[in-house]
Amino acid sequence: MSAAAPGWALVTGAARGIGRAIADRFARSGHAVAAADVDAAALESAVAELRAAGATAVAVPVDVSDPASVAALAERIAPLAGGRLRAVVNNAAVAVERPFFELTDAQWQRVLGTGLTGAFLVTRACWPLLARPGAAVVNVSSVHGARPLPGQAAYAAVKGGLENLTRALALDAAPHGVRVNAVAPGFVLTPAWQRWLGPPDAERGRRLAAEVAATVPLGRPATPDDVADVVLWLAGPASGYVTGAVVPVDGGLAAQAFRPIGAEDTEGSADA
C-alpha cells in the first residue's frame, strides 16, 4: 500500500474502535495525528499509546455537534499543523437502536448532530487548512447508509446523508485539488460490538457470532484495522483519481440482496 506524504491528519471519534485504529494507521505511516473525541479521558489514553510508539500525536477533546467546540478544535490544530492538514477523517458517530415511533426529539438530534452535522461542522471549520491539492477528506459511513435494519432510523438517516454529503462535497472540493470519499463498513469487531454480542463463551454471543459469520460472504466480521487500511488508502496518493466514492468495507455484505436461504443445501432448487 502506498502511503501519503507525511503530514497532519485529524481523526474524530479517535478514542476507541474504528477511530482509534485509523489514528494508529496514520501514525504508523508517518503522519502526525490530531486525535479528537468527546471522551477526554479515553482520548488521552489512546494518544499516550500513540506517543509511546514514537508518533507525533495530540489529544483534542471536542463535541463535534457544537459549533463553538469545533471552532476551538480548528484553532488548536492550525498552529500545530503549520496551517495545513493532510487529511480529515470524520468518524465520530453515535447510534440509538429504537423503533422510529419511539425515537425522542433528543435522541434524533443527538444522533444527527454527532454523525452528520458534526461532519459538516468539522470539515467546514478545517477547510482553510485543507484547501490545497493533495488534501483529502474521508467520511466513515456504514452499510446502514443504503440498507438499514429495523430500529436504526436515526443512524440510517445520518449515514445516508453522510454519503450524499460526501458526493456533493467532492464536487465542490475538486477544483481545489481536494478529494472527498467515504467508507461503508458492515459488521466490525469494535468494543461496542463486543458488548452487544456479550461474553463470547455465552450462548447468545456464540449464536450471534455464528449468524454474522454465515451472513457475511467472506465469513467473518471486519476488524477496525480492515477499515483503517482503506481509509488510509483513500487519503493517500494511490487513490489520487478517486473522489466522490463510497467504498464498502463489509466482506461482501452489501453485494447480496439477502442472506442466501438454504445455502447449506447444495442439492436444493435454484429457483427463487
Please return the burial class of 76, using the count of CB atoms within 10 Å of its CB with bins 0-12, 13-18 and 19+: middle
- Pull the grid cell for residue 194: 463486543
- Cα separation, 127 vs 136, in Å, equals 10
User: 26, 127, 155, 187: which is the annotated catalytic residue?
Assistant: 155
What type of residue sits at position 223?
A: T
Q: Which helix (H) or strand (E) holds 126?
A: helix 118-130
Among 36, 17, 34, CA closest to 26: 34
- Cα separation, 40 vs 15, in Å, equals 8
Catalytic: 155? yes
Q: Which DSSP category does 117 fall into?
A: I
- The answer to whether the CB of 211 falls within 8 A of the CB of 219 is no
* Cβ neighbours, 10 Å, residue 27: 23
Helices (H) and strands (E) in the chain, counts: 9, 7
- The catalytic site residues sit at 155
